[in-house]
Amino acid sequence: MDFMKEYEKWLHSPALSPDQRQELEAIQHDPKEIESRFFGPLEFGTAGLRGVMAVGLHNMNIHVIRWATQGFADVIAAEGEAGLRRGVAICMDCRNHSMEFARAAAEVCAANGIHVRIFESLRPTPELSFAVRHYHCQAGINITASHNPKEYNGYKVYWEDGAQLPPHHADAIAKRLEQIDIFAGVRTMPYEQAVAQGLVEVLGEETDRAFMSCVTAQIIDKAAVEKVADSFKVVYTPFHGCGYKLVPEALRTLGVKHLLCEPHQMVIDGNFPTVVSPNPENPEGFALCIDLARQNDVDFILGTDPDSDRVGILVRDRQGQYRTITGNQTGVLLLDYMIGALRRTGRLPEKPVALKTIVTTEMARKVAQSNGVACYDTFTGFKFMAEKKNALEEQGQGKVIFSYEESYGYMVGDYVRDKDAVTASMLLTEMAAWYAGQGMTLLDALEALYEKYGYYAEKTYNLVMPGLDGLKDMAALMRSLRQAPPAAISGVKVVAFKDYADGTVVDCATGEKGVMELSGSNVLRFEMADGTSVIVRPSGTEPKIKVYILAQGKDARDAQDNLSKYSQWVSSLQKA
């Protein structure tokens, strides 16, 4: 694509507002910035679109939203009259322009004859997944950039099962978008006109009630909370986002009497003024919560990201310090707790199943299988977990009780097909209360699990590669590792090399090549002689390569030593 030609097309388009045109005029003498905005469109993948908000083809703005929605509308229309009638559910998070973008998507859908159900205001991502299933919609659209910095926004697309779009539909949209002119090829109509004509229906409290009845039905052992309710305290933050209403409701329904919501972060604000990053994976974002917890003698802190699909926890240790429990550790704790709680309350299904991603700790498999629960791997992303759940249950091969990935995402129940921080927050709180009744914190519980199942340690490295050059560097690094895989990493032999793109696995000692069950994703895995797995993949939502080190050892120190020795090799990748 000729980026200067595309820039000129935008600059002179009558579709631009005066402010948008002024923004483009301001960069007319900066060819590098023009190239970064117009070298090509944002790639439409199975997660939809995500990018920095700015005027440009490679950015998130109202024109890109309309264009993407036109492509999606054409795919929905291909389902025939029933697809148009079943329509689309649309949701948005707290970010700047999210409501504007959501209404723009509704206007395009309505102009294409697609019935729209749009939420009146921001809602958690899992409620959008729920709404698609609850109203039997053909599809869903969610305007969100999840836990990304404030400069970002995104466009997530869902299909009729409530999961994010399967690859063949994403490919169909991507191909359709190649044929649609971003300005002339889009049909739209005024929002108020669409509402007046009955093409747009607004969702509100009635959908919240239906969703929350499903959430609170997941409570396993309310008596455990009642037992400690007078003394058990929780601090919660929604990080200025969508969890502000329904997460506290779920916790109070659970029976939590002493719930302290961090007041500054309960304020809805897409600029996220109290944090550098609204990501519960980053402990520094919890500083205000820690202050509140110290003032009120609280052991347990809970935080959900801006669209309330991820949740992170902190726990006070015996020295009074608040320590982060990682996503891997949280998932292991919750899996072990759920198996025990479901079993003691007579609710564990006959053939229970747990799902995890290929980059999630192997400790989860050990916990599951040690308790008679089958465990399957999927690629990263809850759409793949949804596919696996649907397939297993439809074929009578088992009932999925829990699905999770290491990046703070958890899914339970049958009413959503995406990560769900509303339900997970409630169950994590139930678990913390149950352990409190045993005189234990979650840190005590985690140590007990290590002693029982073995010592595991994990670390994720993010090799950030921003800009146009970064995309090229990411592709070059993956190509280099694929074409010339290392024989050893940090002095340890590689015993097996797995390429999930074509599903091949190579025995490095014999050169013998085999085939795995999973294929079709740009992920490389090196299995080491010391039992460690090193996994490398590009992020699907941010300009970075992610490197996962999954280690184990005979004790905690040994596991950490095995983990840390690979850090130098990871650093060398950034410099390569």
Any idea which residues carry the catalytic annotation?
146
Distance CA 537, CA 332 (A): 23
Alpha-carbon distances, residue 401 vs 16, 325, 338 (angstroms): 49, 22, 8
CA torsion sign for 218, 224, 226, 232 is: negative
Encoded amino acid at 90, one letter: I
Alpha-carbon distances, residue 388 vs 4, 104, 495, 551 (angstroms): 45, 33, 29, 26
Query: Tokens at residue 265, please?
Result: 């972060």
Closest residue by Cα to residue 47 from 535, 451, 382, 474: 382
Contacts of 36 (CB under 8 A, 6+ apart): 56, 58, 467, 468
Query: Tokens at residue 195, please?
Result: 């509402």
Query: Tokens at residue 286, please?
Result: 């919890």
Closest residue by Cα to residue 127 from 184, 208, 229: 208
Query: What is the residue whose two structure tokens read 């329509």?
Result: 87
For residue 413, is it left (φ>0), alpha (ψ between -120 and 50) or beta?
A: left
Cite the beta strand spans of 228-379 per DSSP E: 233-237, 258-261, 300-304, 311-316, 322-325, 352-357, 374-378
Distance CA 142, CA 98 (A): 9
Query: What is the residue whose two structure tokens read 């690979």?
Result: 566
Alpha helix stretches (DSSP H) within 78-204: 81-86, 98-111, 125-134, 167-178, 191-196
Torsions phi, psi for 311 (to 5 deg): -140, 140
Distance CA 370, CA 566 (A): 29
Q: Give the 3-state secondary structure of residue 253.
A: helix
Alpha-carbon distances, residue 105 vs 13, 64, 91 (angstroms): 20, 10, 10
What are 51's strand-pairing partners?
A: 153
Contacts of 344 (CB under 8 A, 6+ apart): 221
Kindly provide the b/e burial profile for residues 229-252, where b requires at least 16 CB atoms within 10 angstroms of the residue's own CB.
eeebbbbbbbbbbbbbbbbbebbe
Exposure on the CB side of residue 101, measured as CA atoms within 13 A = 33
